[in-house]
Structure 1
Amino acid sequence: MARTRRSGFLRDFQDFALKGNVVDLAVGVVIGAAFGKIVTSLVENIVMPFVDPLLKVFGSDWRNIAFNATKFDPATKAPLDGVRLGLFLGSIVDFAIIALVLFIAIQAIQKMKRKEEVEAAEAPPEPTVLAQERLTGAIEHLTRTIESRQA
């Protein structure tokens, strides 16, 4: 009896785990992680070299701004204790840049989709449909002409 329940449970779990939604979610998470690495690289290696000089007003390394710092790491000169305001501000800047990049990417994708929809909507009708419309128009014209002559 326990074996039946277990196989029923395993069967239910297998059905759940292999549903399209779960598999799609797993693929989305993996692709999202890879895309996150790309965006992080874009921010750190391309965008931040232009942003960092603008933020030098806060000091030579603005990400190490801290209050009530009592100890500093001798290798990096970064504070070990205290409120690390620089790291928090750096995370906010990173988030804003990542959000902007994602917004631009999504806008570009939506624009391409709209173009595809417009092209699909503008597709010319099939030749048989055009021929049927012309034939129907000609028959209607003939019917009116005949009716006008009989009256």
Structure 2
Amino acid sequence: MTVRRTRQATTGFIHDFREFALKGNVVELAIAVIIGAAFGKIVTSFVEDIVMPFINPLVPQGNWREATIGPGIRIGEFFGSIIDFIIIALVLFVAIRVLGSWKRREQETPSPTEKECPYCLTMVPIAASRCRSCTSNLPPDPSQVFNR
């Protein structure tokens, strides 16, 4: 009897864990972490291989990432990490703004094609001057007056 309960509990735990691990959010988070790590390597390479050759001649000691203060305080590595962070933050900021503008374009709603009759509350075309249900004269739509 105890074996059966233990087996059911284990099977239930495995089932619950499988559901949790395969949820979209967890998988997407894992992908984001992997892509973020790869992106961090790209940015570090960009700073070390492209930015550093321009900065190294300006630093009296040469490679500023290897600069130290006192016995073993690697201040150059610290500043290099700060520059990496700033570049990553800037690229992410630009990417999020671009994605946000694309999303806003998709969400823009088209102008309405119908309006509500104030007398019988049925929907009629915007350009209509009479309601098709109650045949009452409709007040002109201010946006349509200038378009005629």
Aligned equivalents of 1:34, 1:24: Cα separation in 2: 15
Indicate the structure with greater strand content: 2
1:32 and 2:33 equivalent?
A: yes
Residue 58 of structure 1: CA displacement? 5.6
Indicate the structure with greater helix content: 1
Residue 63 of structure 1: CA displacement? 0.4
Aligned equivalents of 2:60, 2:22: Cα separation in 1: 47
Q: Which whole-Å deviations, capped at 9, do the CAs of 1:80-100 have from their partners, x for residues lacking one?
A: xx1111111111110111111
SS in structure 1 at match of 2:31: helix
Residue 53 of structure 1: CA displacement? 2.0
Q: Which whole-Å deviations, capped at 9, do the CAs of 1:59-86 have from their partners, x for residues lacking one?
A: 31000011234xxxxxxxxxxxx11111
Calculate the TM-score normalised by the size of structure 1. 0.63
1:86 and 2:76 equivalent?
A: yes
Aligned equivalents of 1:8, 1:113: Cα separation in 2: 45
Any conservation in 1 of the 2:68–2:76 contact (CA below 8 Å)?
Answer: yes
Identity across matched positions, percent: 25
Calculate the TM-score normalised by the size of structure 2. 0.64
Aligned equivalents of 1:91, 1:46: Cα separation in 2: 10
Question: What residue number does 1:149 align with?
Answer: none
1:60 and 2:55 equivalent?
A: no
Select the structure with the greater relative contact order (CA < 8 A; seq sep ≥ 6).
Answer: 1
Q: Which whole-Å deviations, capped at 9, do the CAs of 1:112-149 have from their partners, x for residues lacking one?
A: 1011111xx116548xx65598462671129xxxxxxx
1:45 and 2:49 equivalent?
A: no
CA RMSD of aligned residues (A): 3.4
Gap runs ≥5 in structure 1:
70-81, 143-151
Residue 36 of structure 1: CA displacement? 3.3
Q: Which whole-Å deviations, capped at 9, do the CAs of 1:29-80 have from their partners, x for residues lacking one?
A: 22431243135314523786135524633631000011234xxxxxxxxxxx
Aligned pairs, how many?
126
Question: What residue number does 1:136 align with?
Answer: 131
For residue 103 of structure 2, the aligned residue among 108, 113, 116 is 113
Any conservation in 2 of the 1:64–1:84 contact (CA below 8 Å)?
Answer: yes
Question: What residue number does 1:75 align with?
Answer: none
